Amino acid sequence: MRPTTTDLTLTRRGSVMDIAVADGDFSLVGGKSANTGLTRQIECLRTDVLTRLLTTPGEWLGDPTVGAGVSEMVGSPVTQRNLARVYGQITQALTRDLRIPVGDLDVRMQQVDATSFRIQVVVRVEGEIVDLTPDFVLDFSAGLQAVGIEAVEIA
């Protein structure tokens, strides 16, 4: 006996809903007013940003263009040209597929010491400014180091 099936079509009309699956049943939960959709979107975006920062293009077989490739800068001298290159690589990796529109992205680099720079990725998500990487350091002598990463809203 063939089970009864139904096609499900979802159309976004300005609100965000999460789909939950429990015991094989789908249900719509949360929504923009409950802020669960925005929270989930920020969490997914944070994971995606970190993946792109920590990945070198060519590492993923499914999409060899994913990644900023900043680890390739390890051993390079700290120069304005190399800093501009890192900035460009990060910006391109995060905006190449329009997941983050260029106008909603702010990549910030602040010198920590002679070879290290703190990298912040700040994005606008549904009108809110969110810092996705408050403790992310690029050390030109040792590579990328992520410490205490969590999403933080900026007032």
pLDDT for residue 146 is more than 80? no
56-94 pLDDT, tens digit per residue, is 999 988 888 899 998 888 888 888 998 999 999 999 999
The whole-angstrom separation of Cα 17 and Cα 111 is: 40
**Are the C-beta atoms of residues 64 and 43 closer than 8 Å to each other?**
no
20-60 pLDDT, tens digit per residue, is 666 666 666 554 444 566 777 888 888 888 888 888 999 98
**Are the C-beta atoms of residues 108 and 94 closer than 8 Å to each other?**
no
End-to-end CA distance of the chain: 58
**Are the C-beta atoms of residues 91 and 52 closer than 8 Å to each other?**
no
pTM (predicted TM-score)? 0.68
**Are the C-beta atoms of residues 46 and 151 closer than 8 Å to each other?**
yes
Structural domains in the chain, CATH included, are 18-153 (3.10.450.40)
Q: Counting Cβ atoms within 10 Å, is residue 48 exposed (0-12), middle (13-18) or buried (19+)?
A: middle
